[in-house]
Chains A and B, each alone.
Chain A
Amino acid sequence: MSGFSNIATFKHGVHPEEFKSFTDKLAIERMPFVEDYILPLGQHIGAPSVPLVKKGQSVKRGQMIANAGGFVSVALHSPVDGKVQAIELAETLTGKMVQSIKIKTDPYSSQLLSSSNPGDYRNMELDEFIKSVQSSGLVGLGGAAFPAHVKFKIPEDKSCKIMILNGCECEPFLTSDHRVMAEYPEDLINGAKILNHFVKAEKIYIGIESNKPDAIAILNKKLENESDWIEVVPLEVKYPQGAEKMLVTAILNKEVPSGKLPLDVEVLVSNVSSIAALSQWFETGKPLIERVVTITGNAIKRPANMMVPIGTSMREVVNYCGGLNTENYRMLLGGPMMGMVQRTLDIPIVKGTSGLLLLTEDNVSTMDEYSCIRCGRCVEACPMFLNPSVLGMQAKKGLWEDMKDNYVMDCFECGSCSFVCPSHIPLVQSFRVAKGILREQKAKKALNNKGNE
């Protein structure tokens, strides 16, 4: 695997315009403290956190205010010194109402971090380490917000030979991972060391798309004096290079079997920003109370990469970035390929918010739909080698079972097919619907079977 003469990549995929120049050269700024914070208890995948504080109680910046609500769940910490205003329902992503802890900032506080020292990881057993990570509130910062410790706990019957740190950031517009790699390279390398103390992979690759030459150069420089346990792999700029399966294929030339995880081929993939945050927890005791968010798009006056305390209202962040250029904007969370539309700015930044996209209407495609002309562009785009053309026709007719036979469950909703389709057929959009229906049917069947037993 040494000496990449040919730049590593996967087969198929698409080349959307990158739009990274808005922010890719901008150093990370700090978002100033604001008056109010809203911390939803369920901002990660899994069980919601359980509050440890009461209304009216004073809290410190970095203090744990909610505990993990199960193994697949993480702790939550206060981003500021202040007072608990309320624990009540508040609007969060996609308009959902969830239980949240509301904190009013203490305006006279110095906001110094007060955190318990997690202790030296070198003296920890695996279980202690996993518990410690869980109590730091760490989740995957790439967007999925899956509890990091769950991923780090390799099941007994599996092993991890290779670790891949995912610095692709293949979604257009987003630059937060890029800036973290460029500005916190030591944290990334140290985090890899800490994690590998427990995971014991033979080799660690840092996969970075080659449109981030500065990050690649900085990391290579920092790694000069290291032995070859860790190596930077420049990757072709192609979407969705950062999808776990594609990344494993690009770097190791292996396929992850259908329905399985990279770990089933002895690979652990983790986002670079999460690994940097892991290091900060063990080195300084700072739990996950802030993260880097890219605020970008043509509708924002001053695009920026910002270190934002979790719980800050998006409106505050937008105002800090000079406000909006236009009344007619569309707001997305995450990148334009897989991100979610957001209705209002009055929701908090959460742990999984990697980017806040404010697009003018002309950025957004709303075009006439034509019939499928079987041009095959979707087939040549799909990184999973599915046939979106056939799936699309079956979706129009509601043939869910046929779609299942055509592997729709293997679709990971990257959107490449819809991106290329010249007839603007809502392909991935209808696959999401089909997958939902198929999942529901399966659950119903399982329930019926149980009832019959």
Chain B
Amino acid sequence: MSKQRKAIISTSPFLHDKATTPTIMMEVVYTLIPLVALSYYFFGLGALLVVVASILGCMVTEYVFSSGEKWKKLKDGSALITGILLGLCLPPGFPLWMAFLGGIVSIGMGKLIWGGLGQNVFNPALVGRAFLQAAFPAAITTWNAPTFGSGWFSLNGTNAALPFLQAENVDAMTSATPLSKMKFDHDFGSATDQALGIISGSLGETAGVLILLLGIYMIWRKIIHWRIPVAILSTVILFSGLFWLINPTIYPDPIFMLFTGGLMLGTMYMATDLVTSPITPKGQWIYGVGIAILVVTIRLWGGLPEGVMYAILIMNAVTPLVNKFTKIKPYGYK
């Protein structure tokens, strides 16, 4: 193979664009750093450690189980992204060993068994998160109230729980997330609080405005496809706005829908995952609109308070089909 490679490379083109797969991945990582920092500030050291644990789970799995040049596999940066994203959608008081296990599952089940980078159908971070949700339904729904910078060095008691021992929840400040409040109490809270992240929720869900800005940056840098976020966000506004106009006392307003739960994080970082979203422009529109309709449907009428994860996983599953049926018409076939 290596011999053949050489022969191929010695034909044109001899110029190459600067962006490479590792640089693209690292740029995504850089945009995630402010989010991790923010959740550290809001939720204290525990939040940071959850992210670190899930990164470790991902990287170790990638290194141990991938074939071929192992370091090169890590160099492409995709396992790092998966680790950070998984960590960001876990509660700050989440037991670290569970976060680590989640990382293993993300990379193992979400990527490697499919054949590695570029071959997987589902977003690896969401695969890990779905696993954790199924395996530890109690731990993953235990949310902490933000501590606003007073938790630089303090752990959440549950972080240090040992594997398979039932940890006692010693944190007194546990509070319900806005989405479950909305769902079960019809209490919508303040939209500005939600947008700025001053609410409880999983790590990365709490800073909608920041994520939105980071998403716009990534679109500008052409790291993510612009059509997907545009399709998701506008469809969520239109679709949920319709119900809100019909009956604002039962249905939440569109701004609430945009800035609560994992919508913004899911839109900018998971739905736009290059590998698991359609490559054709028309396919990207279909995919985005599909996610938005599923999210709103699950949130308003489904049995769960949050539907972003399932919406994206479902649309991941149909992506190969969408690609197939939205072929681009080549030049000269008018």
Q: Are A422 and B15 in contact (CB under 8 A)?
A: no
Determine which of B11, B274, B277 lies in contact with A429 in the assembled complex, contact meaning CB atoms within 8 Å: B11
- The answer to whether A16 and B15 touch (CB under 8 A), given A255-B334, A387-B328, is yes
| B20 interface contact, C-beta 8 A | yes
- For residues 321 through 346 of chain A, which have their beta carbon under 8 Å from a beta carbon of chain B? 330, 332, 336-341
Contacts of A202 in B (CB 8 A): none
Determine which of A341, A371, A379 lies in contact with B279 in the assembled complex, contact meaning CB atoms within 8 Å: A379
| A203 interface contact, C-beta 8 A | no
Among B111-119, B132-140, B287-295, the one that faces the other chain is B111-119
Q: Are B274 and A376 in contact (CB under 8 A)?
A: yes
Among A105-113, A128-136, A147-155, A413-421, the one that faces the other chain is A413-421
Number of chain A residues whose Cβ lies closer than 8 Å to a Cβ of chain B: 59
Count of inter-chain pairs, beta carbons less than 8 A: 139
Q: Are B275 and A336 in contact (CB under 8 A)?
A: no
- The answer to whether A426 and B8 touch (CB under 8 A), given A255-B331, A257-B334, is yes
| A137 interface contact, C-beta 8 A | no
Q: Are B330 and A384 in contact (CB under 8 A)?
A: yes
Q: Are B13 and A379 in contact (CB under 8 A)?
A: no
- The answer to whether A419 and B13 touch (CB under 8 A), given A374-B118, A374-B279, A375-B274, is yes
Q: Which residue of B lies closest to A357 (CB)?
A: B14
| A245 interface contact, C-beta 8 A | yes
Contacts of B334 in A (CB 8 A): 255, 257
Contacts of B225 in A (CB 8 A): 376
Chain B interface size range: 35 or more
| B70 interface contact, C-beta 8 A | no
Contacts of A245 in B (CB 8 A): 331-332
Contacts of B274 in A (CB 8 A): 373-376
Determine which of A14, A368, A376, A410 lies in contact with B330 in the assembled complex, contact meaning CB atoms within 8 Å: A410
- The answer to whether A339 and B117 touch (CB under 8 A), given A255-B331, A379-B280, is no
- The answer to whether A337 and B12 touch (CB under 8 A), given A369-B5, A379-B280, A387-B280, is yes
- Distance to closest chain A CB from B85 (angstroms): 15
- Distance to closest chain B CB from A232 (angstroms): 25
| B327 interface contact, C-beta 8 A | yes
Q: Are A385 and B5 in contact (CB under 8 A)?
A: no
Determine which of A249, A366, A374, A415 lies in contact with B13 in the assembled complex, contact meaning CB atoms within 8 Å: A415
Q: Are A337 and B15 in contact (CB under 8 A)?
A: yes
Q: Are A374 and B275 in contact (CB under 8 A)?
A: yes
Q: Are A332 and B12 in contact (CB under 8 A)?
A: yes
- For residues 395 through 453 of chain A, which have their beta carbon under 8 Å from a beta carbon of chain B? 407, 410, 415, 418-424, 426, 428-430, 432
How far does the alpha carbon of A268 sit from the alpha carbon of B328 in the complex, in Å? 28
Q: Are B12 and A368 in contact (CB under 8 A)?
A: no
Contacts of B10 in A (CB 8 A): 341
Q: Are A387 and B20 in contact (CB under 8 A)?
A: no
- Distance to closest chain B CB from A383 (angstroms): 7
Contacts of B78 in A (CB 8 A): 373
Contacts of A6 in B (CB 8 A): none
- For residues 351 through 387 of chain A, which have their beta carbon under 8 Å from a beta carbon of chain B? 359, 363-377, 379, 383-387
Besides A337-B13, A371-B116, A386-B328, 7 more A-B contacts (Cβ < 8 Å) are A258-B332, A259-B332, A359-B14, A374-B277, A421-B17, A422-B24, A426-B9
User: Which residues of B are at the interface with A, using a C-beta cutoff of 8 A?
Assistant: 5, 8-17, 19-24, 72, 76, 78, 116-119, 222, 225, 274-275, 277, 279-280, 323, 327-334
User: Which residues of A are at the interface with B, using a C-beta cutoff of 8 A?
Assistant: 14, 16-17, 172, 245, 249, 255-260, 330, 332, 336-341, 359, 363-377, 379, 383-387, 389-390, 407, 410, 415, 418-424, 426, 428-430, 432
